[in-house]
Structure 1
Amino acid sequence: MTQSPKPLALVKLVVAIACGGVVVALMLFPAVGGAGLATKSGATVVADVSANFDAQTPSTVSTVLAADGSVLTSYYNQYRTPIPLAQMGKWVPKAIVAIEDRRFYQHGGIDTAGTLRAGLQDIMTGGVSQGGSTITQQLVKNTLLYQAKTPAEQKAATADTIARKLKEAKIAIELEKKLSKDQILEKYLNLMNMGAGAYGVRAAAITYFGVEPAQLTLDQAALLAGIVQNPTKFDPFNNPKAAKVRRDTVLAAMAKNGDVSEQDADDAMKKPIVLNPGSKPARSCSEAPSNGGFFCDYLWTYLTKTLGIPDTVLKEQGLTIKTSFQPSFQESATNGILGASSALGRNSSIFGLDDQRLAMMDVLDATNGQVLALAVNRRFGNNANDPSQTSVNYPTVPGEGAGSTYKLFTAVTGLEEGVGTNFVTGANAPYTSKKFKNNGKPYVVNNAGKYGDNLPLWKALYQSENTYFVGLEDQIGNMDPIVNTATAMGLWAPGDTTIANQVKSQQQASFTLGPGSANPLRLAVAYATSANRGTRCEPVPVTDILGPDGQPLVNPKTKKPYFTPGTNCTADVIPSGVADTINNILQKDVMPGNPGQTAARAYTGDGRQIAGKSGTAQGNASYTFVGFTPQVVASVMAYNPANNDPLPSPGAGEEGFGGGYPAEMWHLAMQNILNSYPKVDFPPPDPQVEAGTSATNSSGGNNSNGSGNSSGSSASSGNNGN
């Protein structure tokens, strides 16, 4: 039987590679079939080698920083934190070279003797062995593998073919011409899989021993170097005996290579493997420090949905994401919620971690929209058996009604239309709207308390009289401008028009009493617009997003940064004079010396000017308080997601209101948070806005045209106050 010429041809090919180089071999043997090359010509193999091979280390950890510079969380698929060779210590580089490529500093990318030996073995077995690959070749192979994005690319990067090895050899030779040996070794040691989810020497040193690479002892470094060949087989956590045998093999190789003495190697071999695992960077929001899990979750949604940054970019490109998260504010907000019941003299379990009732607080910078804290009486997590955990981000999603906090939008609209702060509607209780209907029937409104007759706007707002504001809606004559004001101030996210369209189409006068589902974050945005003198700032949880080069991360499609600070604000969505006037009125709801105020508990007692508005939904099933200074705003909302039972009051019993628990929570949190800000007064009210331009001082509802529907509240509304 005639012997196939292929083995002989392959022998010649391997010898040619060893003696004359890959390119020469391929020129001598332009078509070598079989043995995995699949009759592909040598010239084609060379042509397939990318001239733009990227030797950059792939998939590095992105770090998310809080405003104080502490780490909030990390994003990664592979735990890899590259460091310079100079920081890798004395032993790891020597150990790797000794066991993986002892002639590394002598060859030009291919070890001719090793390649010949491995090539002959390939011919005998009909495959491609792993032996004979230099550190440079391994760097090329694993870089191509980690950078592969498609199944086809991954298959090509691991194909058991001579063609793949030739390609890697060609790139290795070219790489040796571009990089120094130390640069190649540094990239290799930052790249390789070292088991237990650790990639690169720094991650491995921390994972197994809890130290930096420079602190590794000889025996520890040898252990890490030994893992590279087979991270599963030599995993010291799961296979300590095999790992020790491999470690000792590395130590023997180091002694043979002259890196250590025989005695030092023997001494190291006698040491047992002692692991001291360090912590990997936390990448679950449930692990975020300072109760920051809800902010962490909101941040991820903002980055991926609002900004459109792909998951792979966040998890693989080694970004630095600087956030607005204030750990101390978060702690204060959480403690304010959890501590309110004790401060009010009631059972501490009320609004505790295990209470099914929810209370949440959103803290924003009123001047720029930065989200500073997101708190709730829960821990962020997915354990269904732990009632204190939830993965629902309650501070950022619609909940229950916010009650009379929505009177802000009717008041702003009225002042914009010139009614003035002394405007009297004459809408005393019980009041039947002269403009709007309730499912075709008269819309009758009552108050949640006793009020004097014929209150002016300024007093009706801070004392929260329901009938006044339905009368003011009658004066305005249509719900559209009120809804437009709420939209402009940011009550709904841009593009979210569902509720706005519904209120407009049905002309729901009950809107001013806040019966519908409210998002506490958006409510904070709307009130921040008033605090910021009419400039609306969309909420942002980041201050900067930097690439691995320290420059702003650029969207490759738009060629612009994904995030540019300061582009989230829109000036003059309401007139500054109207905002100043509203802020002056709302101070009366909090500051001492104002009879009939609803939120005196929110006052921090330090003389600082604080404005705010409380709200209680129908049946006391939810309540809210939004308070603010010129610098910071916080909204507090509470409800029971399981039922519509009345919420607790500060005293004994139920039927609480927004000036009770929510105002107390705000007070407890903000007395600490506000210490970070200087005392700044609000600008004075605008005299022209105060005076108004309307000639009438009584309800103009009789002169309104058209009809409306107050669908969404009962025909006799009276509990949406305080």
Structure 2
Amino acid sequence: MIYAYVNGTPKLTADDLKDPQSSMIYDMNDEFITYVTSSERREYVKIDDIPELVQQAFISTEDVRFREHMGIDMKRIVGAAVANVQDGFGAEGASTITQQVVKNSVLSSDKTLERKVQEAYLAIQLEQKYSKDQILEMYLNKIYFGSGAYGVATASKTYFNKPLKELTPAEAALLAGLPQRPSSYDPFLHPKVAEERRNTVLHLMYKNGAITKQQKEEAMKTAVTESLSKEKTKRLKYDAFIQQVIKELKEKGVSERAIYEGGLKIYTTLDPKAQAHTEKVLSTEEYVNYPNDKFKAGVALLDTKTGVIRALGGNRTSGDQNIEKGFNYATDITRQPGSTIKPILDYGPAIEKFKWSTYKQIKDEELEIDGWEAGNWDDDFHGDVSMREALVHSYNIPAIKTFMEVGSEDAVSFAKQLGIPIKTAHPAYAIGGFGKGPSPLELAGAYTAFGNQGVYHKPTTLRSVKYPDGYETKYESKPVAAMHDYTAYMITDMLKDVVKSGTGTLAAIPGLEVAGKTGTTNMPDGLDQIKKGSSDSWFAGYTTNYTAAVWTGYDKTTAESYLTPEDQKIAKYIFKSIVSEVSKDKKTAGFSKPKSVEEVYINKDTGYVTKDENGSNVTKELIVKGTSLKEMTAPVKAKKADKKERTKSNKNNKEKNKDDKKKDSDKAKEEEKKKEDEKQTEPPTTKPEDEADPPPPQDDNPDDPGTTPEPEDPPTVPDPPPTEPPPTTDPPPTEPPPADGGEGTGTGPGAGTSGTTTTP
């Protein structure tokens, strides 16, 4: 067997050994688009020009017996073997510097017995052909240090803007610690982690006699940021997408060294035209007028049928600009989702569990939950409304009632099937009152299932990876039946009305069937005097071909940086521009009704099914085939729940029932007084442990191209996102009651801060 492994070993060439092999990225059409790093920076340096201090920093860190072994280190192999027996093969490596040169030149990074045998064989061959200094020179010029820097000389200039001979022990130690995980130890992005890693290297250097105790102590007192260069690096082409590719490769066990130095051919799902247009929409004002340069946006564009990622817009900065390494707003934000969560936590689970019709009646009335008075964006109650009306107009109280009827456990289970990572939920979650919400990528992934007959695919950028030795690993996102096809179609049908006549009309695309949902969040505490302002604005929508989710807002919402009513339209404009462009010259089918769904016509005046399809005040609704029509109009009653999810009857209603013998005029006066009191009531005080949680978001108003639309509650990166603002007549936001020790992923029945109501 060993002979067979050795016999299949690839050959090493001088070119393989000298130059680092940057991994290449290919698009959905197998066309080369870019290297994993931006324009590569390489400066080759001879071993005689590399100071002994720098050499010893790497030898102490990577291979302390480098000058003694013959290419493999038996002591390290024994130590690794023990770890592998205890924790499984591949748990700990024993690669020497020589083996790393071999592995990064021609072999894959797979931790298989065959690869380790070939690696050891080639390492011994390499030691027989080259001197130790030559091998160390290859290694120090080949390894990747992050920020596009290959080789130690380039890294010295990248991080410190100085030649190798001027490096201090602290600086040499920092460089020696980077190759293991260049992005994780990046001193620009993670100075504390980088400093810990540097200090570990300094300890090893002292232990192996490379520096004195005094040098070690002085170096450890030096802040890692003290001597860093301020030079900015140029953004990588398709930066947001490539960031996600690298992230996924790491999650699948591919080492950073293999990614940056292994000469991989990475075949992705990228649609270059879609990516280029997405970046153009975000970085120019050709399609959207942005308020200022601080305004942020994140976009994820997926294939509805397969869930693969076609484009990511991670920032509003042009790829031609030199910038500090940026935050990926398409994948990294965890802001409140506002009303975009309602199909996922409320109405989707209700159809799935109870087979509700789209005409299911839900009473929109006063609702108090453990001291938190829930409200709608228009500060009004609408009586019995259908599930369709409640979703189209984004009323909060029907959504909360629906969530409570379903139950937290089943709602969370439904969301998890769609890739939304929450562990528990309270009534405030029903309207987007999360402490930590989904990213645009996660939200888009969830919405693909509604447009794909209930089948969910985890979003991915990867198709396959080929290694220099010919080894190939293929990747695919397996389909998951997240819900019945009737649930997906009925949600889709209602979301089509959101775009046709509800809160999302500005996202409508002529000639395409589009389903979607808006979401906004309120201003944070202390800024609620800005009545029509909002922290974040979302739009998530889909056709049968594409699904996109867009977030817009600021890093931190302040009195100077917040979303005005006009700004709140931008998420819809971005969605419309991108989806309409990628849909050009491509046939887009309409949403097909499955056999499990039947259409019925309802006379809204009587509430009964009618055969008169064209009658006045007749609406077409959907039911699950085989369900009873008797339950179609039965209203959802306020359901009592344990602890935090109790629904309390309004005290004023009780008093009104007791006083039913009073004259009608007295009743009217009492009701008037009650409304006034509610407006003046202060929200309940939150518990100290819940102070960091944001309030639930608010509802959206229907879009009117000629008038200012209602703001929605969006989440922000640094701060917990406030909720969506109310419409034209903005009611004072109410604060939810404190949560009962639930997960920190969101607010409880009111585990948020004050001033939140959810918006569509």
Match of 1:535 among 440, 455, 463: 455
Cα distance between partner residues in 2 of 1:64 and 1:310: 16
Is residue 2:244 matched to residue 1:298?
A: yes
Q: How far 1:705 sits from its partner (Å)?
A: 4.5
Q: In the alignment, which residue of structure 1 is the partner of 2:644?
A: 708
Q: In the alignment, which residue of structure 2 is the partner of 1:64?
A: 25
Cα distance between partner residues in 2 of 1:421 and 1:646: 42
User: Residue type matched to 2:758 in 1?
Assistant: N
Task: Compare the two structures and name the one with the higher helix fraction.
Answer: 1
User: Residue type matched to 1:721 in 2?
Assistant: T
CA contact (8 A) 1:73 1:296 kept: no
Q: In the alignment, which residue of structure 1 is the partner of 2:589?
A: 680
Q: Given the superposition, is the C-alpha separation of residues 382 and 514 from structure 1 closer, same or farther in structure 2, using an over 3 Å criterion?
A: farther
Mapping for residues 139-288 of structure 1, pairs under 5 Å:
150-153=63-66, 156=69, 286-288=234-236
Is residue 2:397 matched to residue 1:467?
A: yes
Match of 2:623 among 686, 691, 694: 691
CA contact (8 A) 1:648 1:656 kept: no
Is residue 2:111 matched to residue 1:73?
A: no
Q: In the alignment, which residue of structure 1 is the partner of 2:545?
A: 631
Report percent identity of matched pairs.
Answer: 17
CA contact (8 A) 2:300 2:441 kept: yes
Cα distance between partner residues in 1 of 2:436 and 2:22: 39
Q: Given the superposition, is the C-alpha separation of residues 381 and 454 from structure 1 closer, same or farther in structure 2, using an over 3 Å criterion?
A: same
Q: Given the superposition, is the C-alpha separation of residues 639 and 575 from structure 1 closer, same or farther in structure 2, using an over 3 Å criterion?
A: same
Q: Given the superposition, is the C-alpha separation of residues 486 and 676 from structure 1 closer, same or farther in structure 2, using an over 3 Å criterion?
A: farther
Deviations 1:445-504 (A, max 9, x none): 22347785422112221221212212222433x222112111111112xxxxxx423x2x
Q: Given the superposition, is the C-alpha separation of residues 421 and 364 from structure 1 closer, same or farther in structure 2, using an over 3 Å criterion?
A: same
CA contact (8 A) 2:400 2:427 kept: no
Q: In the alignment, which residue of structure 2 is the partner of 1:422?
A: 359
Q: In the alignment, which residue of structure 2 is the partner of 1:368?
A: 306
Q: In the alignment, which residue of structure 1 is the partner of 2:187?
A: none
Q: How far 1:703 sits from its partner (Å)?
A: 5.1
User: Residue type matched to 1:418 in 2?
Assistant: K
Deviations 1:132-185 (A, max 9, x none): xxxxxxxxxxxxx99x97343465579xxxxxxxxxxxxxxxxxxxxxxxxxxx
Q: How far 1:667 sits from its partner (Å)?
A: 1.0
Q: Given the superposition, is the C-alpha separation of residues 151 and 684 from structure 1 closer, same or farther in structure 2, using an over 3 Å criterion?
A: same
Is residue 2:485 matched to residue 1:572?
A: no
Q: In the alignment, which residue of structure 1 is the partner of 2:328?
A: 393
Cα distance between partner residues in 2 of 1:571 and 1:285: 41
Cα distance between partner residues in 2 of 1:78 and 1:655: 44
Cα distance between partner residues in 2 of 1:641 and 1:611: 29
Q: In the alignment, which residue of structure 2 is the partner of 1:330?
A: 275
CA contact (8 A) 2:314 2:331 kept: no
Cα distance between partner residues in 1 of 2:10 and 2:597: 66
CA contact (8 A) 1:335 1:669 kept: no
User: Residue type matched to 1:674 in 2?
Assistant: S
Q: Given the superposition, is the C-alpha separation of residues 317 and 66 from structure 1 closer, same or farther in structure 2, using an over 3 Å criterion?
A: same
What runs of 5+ residues in structure 2 fail to find an aligned partner?
A: 1-5, 43-57, 72-129, 143-149, 151-163, 165-231, 524-533, 600-621, 647-689, 697-733, 737-754
Q: How far 1:327 sits from its partner (Å)?
A: 2.4
Is residue 2:568 matched to residue 1:642?
A: no
Match of 1:664 among 573, 590, 601: 573
Mapping for residues 424-443 of structure 1, pairs under 5 Å:
424-428=361-365, 431-433=366-368, 437=369, 440-443=370-373
For residue 519 of structure 2, give the secondary structure of its aligned residue in structure 1.
Answer: strand
CA contact (8 A) 1:363 1:374 kept: yes
Deviations 1:510-530 (A, max 9, x none): 433345432111111111121
For residue 581 of structure 1, give the secondary structure of its aligned residue in structure 2.
Answer: helix
Q: In the alignment, which residue of structure 2 is the partner of 1:309?
A: 254
For residue 708 of structure 1, give the secondary structure of its aligned residue in structure 2.
Answer: helix
Cα distance between partner residues in 2 of 1:451 and 1:646: 33
Q: How far 1:590 sits from its partner (Å)?
A: 1.9
Between Structure 1 and Structure 2, how many residues are aligned? 449
Cα distance between partner residues in 1 of 2:62 and 2:546: 45
Cα distance between partner residues in 2 of 1:381 and 1:151: 42
Q: In the alignment, which residue of structure 2 is the partner of 1:378?
A: 316
For residue 584 of structure 2, give the secondary structure of its aligned residue in structure 1.
Answer: helix
Is residue 2:423 matched to residue 1:500?
A: yes
Q: Given the superposition, is the C-alpha separation of residues 389 and 678 from structure 1 closer, same or farther in structure 2, using an over 3 Å criterion?
A: farther
User: Residue type matched to 2:268 in 1?
Assistant: T
CA contact (8 A) 1:381 1:389 kept: no
Q: How far 1:412 sits from its partner (Å)?
A: 0.5
CA contact (8 A) 2:314 2:327 kept: no
Is residue 2:537 matched to residue 1:589?
A: no
Mapping for residues 39-50 of structure 1, pairs under 5 Å:
none
Cα distance between partner residues in 1 of 2:135 and 2:317: 37
Cα distance between partner residues in 1 of 2:381 and 2:567: 17
Cα distance between partner residues in 1 of 2:549 and 2:455: 18
Cα distance between partner residues in 2 of 1:483 and 1:719: 21
For residue 301 of structure 2, give the secondary structure of its aligned residue in structure 1.
Answer: strand
Deviations 1:506-551 (A, max 9, x none): x333433345432111111111121122111111111111122444
CA contact (8 A) 1:515 1:720 kept: no
TM-score, normalised to structure 1, is 0.55
Q: Given the superposition, is the C-alpha separation of residues 456 and 54 from structure 1 closer, same or farther in structure 2, using an over 3 Å criterion?
A: closer
Q: In the alignment, which residue of structure 2 is the partner of 1:172?
A: none
Let me know the Cα RMSD of the aligned residues: 4.4
TM-score, normalised to structure 2, is 0.52
Q: How far 1:338 sits from its partner (Å)?
A: 4.3
Greater gyration radius:
1
Q: In the alignment, which residue of structure 2 is the partner of 1:38?
A: none
Q: How far 1:576 sits from its partner (Å)?
A: 1.4
User: Residue type matched to 1:319 in 2?
Assistant: L
Q: How far 1:393 sits from its partner (Å)?
A: 1.7
Q: In the alignment, which residue of structure 1 is the partner of 2:704?
A: none
Q: Which deviates further from its counterpart, 704-713 or 637-646?
A: 704-713
Q: How far 1:635 sits from its partner (Å)?
A: 0.4
Is residue 2:610 matched to residue 1:610?
A: no
User: Residue type matched to 1:71 in 2?
Assistant: I
Q: Given the superposition, is the C-alpha separation of residues 678 and 514 from structure 1 closer, same or farther in structure 2, using an over 3 Å criterion?
A: farther
Q: How far 1:195 sits from its partner (Å)?
A: 10
CA contact (8 A) 2:303 2:546 kept: yes
User: Residue type matched to 1:527 in 2?
Assistant: Y
Cα distance between partner residues in 1 of 2:585 and 2:465: 25
For residue 589 of structure 1, give the secondary structure of its aligned residue in structure 2.
Answer: helix
Cα distance between partner residues in 1 of 2:597 and 2:560: 41
Is residue 2:521 matched to residue 1:601?
A: no
Q: Given the superposition, is the C-alpha separation of residues 419 and 308 from structure 1 closer, same or farther in structure 2, using an over 3 Å criterion?
A: same
User: Residue type matched to 1:691 in 2?
Assistant: I
For residue 364 of structure 2, give the secondary structure of its aligned residue in structure 1.
Answer: coil
Q: How far 1:442 sits from its partner (Å)?
A: 4.2
Cα distance between partner residues in 2 of 1:656 and 1:480: 38
For residue 524 of structure 1, give the secondary structure of its aligned residue in structure 2.
Answer: helix
Q: In the alignment, which residue of structure 2 is the partner of 1:720?
A: 758
Cα distance between partner residues in 2 of 1:539 and 1:367: 11
For residue 385 of structure 2, give the secondary structure of its aligned residue in structure 1.
Answer: coil
For residue 588 of structure 1, give the secondary structure of its aligned residue in structure 2.
Answer: helix
Q: How far 1:380 sits from its partner (Å)?
A: 8.4
Cα distance between partner residues in 1 of 2:135 and 2:387: 70
Q: How far 1:700 sits from its partner (Å)?
A: 3.3
